[in-house]
C-alpha cells in the first residue's frame, strides 16, 4: 500500500504537508517521512494497528501492540550513567510479562497504578521482557478506581486503592498501624515492612494507598502495595486537556484538576527552549497529541504569572 497516495485521497497536498510537519515536530525531528506517514495513516484509520496478546508474543518479536492490565509497578532505579529504569508487570487473559521502561518513560510510569488498563504501542521482546521501540509509547485506556472507605469491608480478600486523610497512628507489635478517615468512615491500615513510609504518616495528611490488601476488615500495605503522600507543590495525573492561555501561559487539566503554568513554565514542560517570537499556541497545537492521555509528574514553583515548572 502506498500510504501517501491513500492519504491524498482524503486530504489535499497542503493538508498532508501540514500533518507531516506536525508529526515531525511531535517527534522532535527524529522520524523519517515513511514513519510519519504511518502515524498519520493510523490516526486516519487507513493503517489498522494489529493488536496481539501476551500469549502470542514470540522470541524477538517487534512492533508489538498490546492492551493489558498492570499487575505491579516497580521502583524507579537510578544508575551512575544518569539513566533510569522501571519494571512493570502486565497481564491479559493469555499470560503475564514484564515491561522494562527507561528514562522519561520510566519516570512517567510512576503515575501508573496497579489495575490500570493500558495500551502498549510499538514494543519489542528481548530476554523474556518487553521494551518500547522507536516511537513506542504507553497510553492509559482505563484508570483503576479508588475504593470509597465505606466499601472496604465488602472487598475482603481483594486489593484496593484508597485516597483519604490520616486520622491517627500507632504500633501493633512489629507492625505500624494507622487509620484513614473521610469524615464519615474510618478504616484501620497496617504497614508491613515499610519503615521508610512511617515518617510520612502524620495526622491530617492526605495519602494514597495503591494495591492495599483487605484482610479482616483492615487494609494491609505490604510489599505489593505503594504508599504516597500528596505533596502540595507537585501535580500528578493523566493529561485530559492542554490549552494556551493567550500567549502568556498554559492550562493543564490532570485527572480533573486545573494547573495553570506561566509562559516559561509551559515551554519547559513542552521540552522547548523559550524563544520570544514563538507563539505558545502554535507550539501547544504541535505538541498536544504527545501529552493527551499520558501520565505526567510536574514539580512546581510559584511565579508572578502562574506556576513555573521546576522539574517534570
Q: Is 277 found in the same domain as 258?
A: yes
Give the mean pLDDT of 216-221. 93
Position 28 scores a pLDDT of 58
Asked if residue 49 belongs to a domain, the reply is: no
- Do 238 and 304 have their domain in common? yes
Same-domain status, 20 and 69: no
Average pLDDT score over the chain: 84
Cell 524507579 appears where? 76
193 and 264 housed in the same domain? no
Examine residue 169 and state whether it is found in any structural domain, yes or no: yes
The confidence score (pLDDT) of residue 1 equals 64
pLDDT band at 312 (very low <50, low <70, confident <90, very high): very low
Does a structural domain hold residue 100? Answer: yes
263 and 212 part of one domain: no
**Are 103 and 30 members of one domain?**
no
Which pLDDT belongs to residue 27? 64
Q: Are 271 and 230 in contact (CB under 8 A)?
A: no
What pLDDT does 140 receive? 81
Residue 215 domain flag: yes
Q: Which residues pair with 307 in a beta bridge?
A: 261
pLDDT digits (tens, 9 = 90+) for 154-196: 999 999 999 889 988 877 667 788 999 988 999 999 988 666 5
Residue 86 or 266, more confident: 86
153 lies in the same domain as 225:
yes
Q: Quick check: 3 and 47 in contact, CB under 8 A?
A: yes
With CA atoms as reference, report the closest residue to 16 among 25, 26, 7: 7
Do residues 242 and 251 make contact, with C-beta atoms less than 8 angstroms apart?
A: yes
Give the range among 57-71, 80-94, 201-215 with minimum mean pLDDT. 201-215
The answer to whether residue 264 scores a pLDDT higher than 90 is no
Report if residue 48 sits inside a domain: no
Q: How many CB atoms are closer than 10 A to CB 131?
A: 18
Q: What is the pLDDT at residue 208?
A: 85
Report the CATH number at residue 120: 2.40.50.140
Q: What is the CATH number of the domain that holds 293?
A: 2.40.50
Residue 75 lies inside a defined structural domain of this protein: yes
Three-state DSSP at 191 gives strand
Residues 169, 221: one domain?
yes
Q: Pick from 205, 229, 253: which residue ends a domain?
A: 229
pLDDT of residue 295: 67
The reply to whether 157 and 186 lie within a common domain is yes
Report how far apart, in Å, the C-alpha atoms of 119 and of each of 16, 138, 194, 306 are.
27, 6, 31, 33
Boundary residue ending a domain (111, 142, 173): 142
pLDDT at 148: 92
Intra-chain end-to-end CA distance of the chain, in Å: 40
Instruction: Let me know whether 64 and 114 are in one domain.
Output: yes
> Could you read off the pLDDT of 18-51 as tens digits, one per residue?
888 888 777 656 577 887 887 888 788 887 778 8
Q: Are 248 and 188 found together in one domain?
A: no
**What's the mean pLDDT in 230-237?**
70
Q: Which residue has the higher pLDDT, 290 or 209?
A: 209
Same domain, 132 and 65: yes
Out of 187, 210, 229, pick the residue that ends a domain.
229
The whole-number average pLDDT for the span 203-212 is 87
What lies within 8 Å, CB to CB, of 76 at 6+ separation is 84, 85, 86, 106, 107, 110
Residue 310 clears pLDDT 50, i.e. is over it: no
Residue 19: domain span:
3-43
Read off the pLDDT of residues 276-308 as tens digits, 9 standing for 90 and up: 767 888 888 888 887 887 767 676 765 544 455
pLDDT at 311: 40
Number of compact structural domains in the chain: 4
Q: Which of 22-31, 126-135, 148-157 has the highest mean pLDDT?
A: 148-157
| Predicted TM-score of the model (pTM) | 0.58
Amino acid at each position: 500500500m502506498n500510504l501517501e497516495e491513500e492519504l491524498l485521497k482524503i486530504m489535499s497536498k497542503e493538508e498532508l504537508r501540514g500533518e507531516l510537519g506536525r508529526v515531525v515536530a511531535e517527534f522532535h525531528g527524529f522520524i523519517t517521512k515513511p514513519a510519519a506517514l504511518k502515524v498519520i495513516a493510523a490516526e486516519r484509520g487507513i493503517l489498522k494497528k494489529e493488536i496481539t496478546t501476551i500469549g502470542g508474543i514470540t522470541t524477538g518479536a517487534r512492533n508489538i501492540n498490546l492492551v493489558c492490565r498492570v499487575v505491579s509497578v516497580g521502583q524507579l532505579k537510578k544508575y551512575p550513567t544518569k539513566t533510569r529504569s522501571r519494571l512493570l508487570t502486565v497481564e491479559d487473559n493469555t499470560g503475564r510479562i514484564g515491561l522494562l521502561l527507561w528514562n522519561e518513560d520510566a519516570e512517567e510510569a510512576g503515575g501508573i497504578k496497579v489495575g490500570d488498563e493500558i495500551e502498549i504501542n510499538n514494543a519489542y521482546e528481548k530476554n523474556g521482557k518487553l521494551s518500547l521501540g522507536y516511537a513506542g509509547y504507553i497510553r492509559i485506556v482505563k484508570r483503576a478506581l479508588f475504593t470509597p472507605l465505606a466499601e472496604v469491608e465488602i472487598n475482603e480478600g481483594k486489593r484496593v486503592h484508597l485516597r483519604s486523610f490520616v486520622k491517627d497512628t500507632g504500633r501493633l507489635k512489629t507492625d505500624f498501624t494507622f487509620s484513614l478517615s473521610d469524615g464519615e468512615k474510618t478504616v484501620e491500615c497496617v504497614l508491613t515492612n515499610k519503615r521508610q513510609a512511617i515518617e510520612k504518616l502524620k495526622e491530617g495528611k492526605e495519602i494514597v494507598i495503591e494495591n492495599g490488601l483487605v484482610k479482616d476488615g483492615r487494609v494491609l500495605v505490604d510489599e505489593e502495595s505503594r504508599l504516597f503522600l500528596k505533596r502540595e507543590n507537585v501535580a500528578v495525573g493523566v493529561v485530559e486537556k492542554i490549552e494556551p492561555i493567550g500567549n502568556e501561559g498554559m492550562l493543564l487539566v490532570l485527572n480533573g484538576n486545573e494547573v495553570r503554568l506561566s509562559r516559561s513554565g509551559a515551554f519547559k514542560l513542552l521540552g522547548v527552549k523559550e524563544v520570544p517570537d514563538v507563539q505558545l499556541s502554535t507550539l501547544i497545537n504541535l505538541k498536544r497529541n504527545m501529552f493527551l492521555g499520558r501520565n505526567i509528574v510536574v514539580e512546581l514553583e510559584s511565579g508572578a504569572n502562574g506556576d513555573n515548572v521546576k522539574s517534570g
